[in-house]
Amino acid sequence: MTVKSAQPAQGPVVVVTGASQGIGAAIAECFANRIPGARLALVATNPKHLGAIAERCRQAGAEVEALPADLNDNVQVERMAAEVHGRFGHVDVLINNAGRWRGGAAHEMQVSEFLQVLQDNLVSMFAVTRAFLAAMLARGSGDIFLMSSTSGLTGLANNAAYCAAKHGVAGFSKALRAEVASRGIRVCCVYPGPTESPSWAGTGVDLEKLMSAADIANVFVDAYQMSRRSVMEDVILRPLASMQGV
């Protein structure tokens, strides 16, 4: 008698934007390593870096589709969402991580620069959410994560545009949660403080005093794994060193 080997159970379909480095890459790898059968759609602008992260996730056992896209281009956003649905059929988890920091004093920043920061960190997040939301509502299930920042909780000098954008993400998450909670969709907004990433290169900042990207990533998986009876609404994370005055 021939015994057929059991096929691995299919895990959730997880879309991660900004997945080529930093927190986004850590989130992708965390789902690949912790969730058996995870199916990942990884999105970022840099194909080379994205491909490297995708391969690491495949080696961990995940099924992966790498999708280079400029999320500031609505046509590319819609095309990316169509490709994800065409490949996987549906999306269980949407992680809106992509964003870009840009500082500058309010009196020195041009209006066009301010608008670009809002586009990079808020408008594109709305566009990506919109591209997947209708299908989630039709299925009556899903998890949406939005990446804000501790800059979305307070005001920082020379960061007017970024603070405005991340406050906007916080407001968007609250409004979205109120709209979709009764329809089986959980919305979680995450507010990380300074976290290790390639963006700190050359700044002289001691990376040992920053949070680990892997620690942030584990929060996303933990929130997803909670029973559907509960929702983790807001998560604030700060480097312990910043609270110890060092």
Instruction: List, by residue number, the catalytic residues.
Output: 162
Asked whether the beta carbons of 44 and 50 are under 8 A apart, the reply is yes
Residue with tokens 């989630």, as numbered in its chain: 136
Q: In the sheet where 63-68 sits, what is the strand order?
A: 63-68, 39-44, 13-17, 93-96, 142-147, 185-192, 234-237
Tokens matching residue 2: 């021939």
Determine the residue type at 198. Answer: P
The helix, strand and coil proportions of the chain, stated in percent and rounded to the nearest 5, come to: 50, 15, 35
Asked whether the beta carbons of 129 and 96 are under 8 A apart, the reply is yes
Asked whether the beta carbons of 106 and 155 are under 8 A apart, the reply is no
Tokens matching residue 172: 């968007």
Task: For CA atoms 179, 169, 154, 205, give the dihedral sign.
Answer: positive
CA 154 to CA 23: how far, in whole Å? 21
